[in-house]
Amino acid sequence: MATPLDATAPPEPPKKRDRTHWLYIAVIVAVVAGVIVGLVAPDVGKSVGVLGTMFVALIKMMIAPIIFCTIVLGIGSVRKAATVGKVGGLAFLYFLLMSTFALAIGLVVGNIMHPGSGLQLTESASGKGAELAETAHEAGGLLDFVQGIIPETLFSALTAGSVLQALFVALLVGFALQGMGAAGEPALRAIASLQKLVFKILVMILWLAPIGAFGAIANVVGQTGWSAVTQLLGLMLGFYITCAVFVFGVLGILLRVAAGVSIFKLVRYLAREYLLIVSTSSSESALPRLIAKMEHLGVERTTVGVVVPTGYSFNLDGTAIYLTMASLFIAGAMGDPLTVSEQIGLLVFMIVASKGAAGVTGAGLATLAGGLQAHRPDLLDGVGLIVGIDRFMSEARAVTNFSGNAVATVLIGTWTNTIDKERVDEVLRGDDPFNELTMVDDDHGTRDEETPKDRVPAPA
């Protein structure tokens, strides 16, 4: 007589309670407190700005090892390099087209709104543009950019803080392990264990998010107050609306038509990442979580490992919109609008420069100054006014960049048949919630060139 399964099966271990929702409530409270401190005591707000800087630095510290582990595990687990090449080539072409389209949208909206018309720039703007242009110049040209991808040593790529260097070395290691076959399995298992360790450290760091958010917000409000925000409200609102239309209109329609996925459900799935980005004004703070969540969503690890890190350097839709609208704003504010030919020339420059300055601190402002210096040097000093509200605009910029990369991952996964559509529907319905405690899926994204439709359930 058969024994019931539940009579012999060992009891399930008690599940750990997910307390991470308290973290994000604390972030909201910290942001509100930062605004109050910045308004009531501006000097105090400026002095605590270092807290936000330190938190973002901690996040950036984790990006290189996370990218390395993710890409190596993704590439090393597939049998044929053709899949990675196909994903990478398609992703690069998509990034180029979407960035160009985003730049064009910024120009169209800017010409309709005529931002900055009649605004008198203050003398405080003087000198800032030249400083930022110098920073852009230090980024070098196209060949210098390519040369900068190659690290000094194999291991320095993980310590130099360059996303592209880490990506380059991870590709080399991944393909090397792939070529080793069975002999590379021990190394893959070691890197998988390292990935779990890295994500565990990241979870610990994220508990400091409220402190970082408080310092960053208090510093911005303490420096600018409400007057600076009010003075440039038209540009900010126009930029926010343009980004929203781009995400929910352009990207949303493309996602629905090509992948059959609702942009609203995807945004809801990534809600905590958006909150983290808004609190830090940096999309890099959510990069590790985007990698983990895209794998959990059903995109194969190989695709995620190639598309997400590359997109953070080449698929900057929000930055593209910002560059063109800010350029038109400065020209209008200084009473000398750009001609159509100048706008087209600036568009071509931004397409290239927005890629080359991806690894430069303050890349948006640096690229903006470099573009104006190349086409209209007389407008360079106007960049100083943008500096005052760049932090407020950077939130929408970062959210748009993040959204573009999330959508790109799903689209590339769909076009290369490296996504489990049934799992996507299941996760977006909330039937399989993301594990906030480990941020790692042990059983997903590790199959060898196996498409969802080819999988056969294991026998009971």
For tokens 């600018």, name the residue.
224
Give the whole-angstrom CA distance, residue 221 versus residue 138.
30
**Which positions ≥6 away from 388 have C-beta within 8 Å?**
223, 224, 228, 232
> Per-residue pLDDT for 24 more than 90?
no
> Per-residue pLDDT for 207 more than 80?
yes
> Thinking of the domain 22-443, which architecture would CATH place it in?
Orthogonal Bundle (1.10)
pLDDT digits (tens, 9 = 90+) for 147-181: 777 888 888 777 776 667 777 888 888 888 878 87
Residues 300 and 446 sit within 8 Å (Cβ to Cβ) = no
The maximal CA–CA distance of the chain, rounded, in angstroms, is: 91
Is this prediction's pTM over 0.85? no
**Which positions ≥6 away from 330 have C-beta within 8 Å?**
116, 372, 379, 382, 383, 385, 386
Residues 30 and 213 sit within 8 Å (Cβ to Cβ) = yes
Q: pLDDT band at 203, cuts 50/70/90?
A: confident
Mean pLDDT of 419-448: 72
pLDDT (0 to 100) of residue 248: 93
> Per-residue pLDDT for 332 more than 50?
yes
Give DSSP secondary structure letters for 53-87. HHHHHHHHHHHHHHHHHHHHHHHHT-S-HHHHHHH
Tokens linked to 76:
């090393």
Q: How many CB atoms lie within 10 A of CB 4?
A: 7
- Lowest-confidence segment of 46-55, 192-201, 304-313, 433-442 by average pLDDT: 433-442
> Per-residue pLDDT for 3 more than 60?
no
Give the whole-angstrom CA distance, residue 436 versus residue 20.
7
Q: Strand pairing partners for 419?
A: 299
Mean pLDDT of 134-138: 53
- Lowest-confidence segment of 160-169, 296-305, 447-456 by average pLDDT: 447-456
Give the whole-angstrom CA distance, residue 326 versus residue 140.
22
Q: How far apart, in Å, do the first and last CA atoms of the chain sit?
A: 19
Q: pLDDT band at 5, cuts 50/70/90?
A: very low
Listed by start position, the domains of the chain span: 22-443
pLDDT digits (tens, 9 = 90+) for 76-90: 665 555 556 677 788
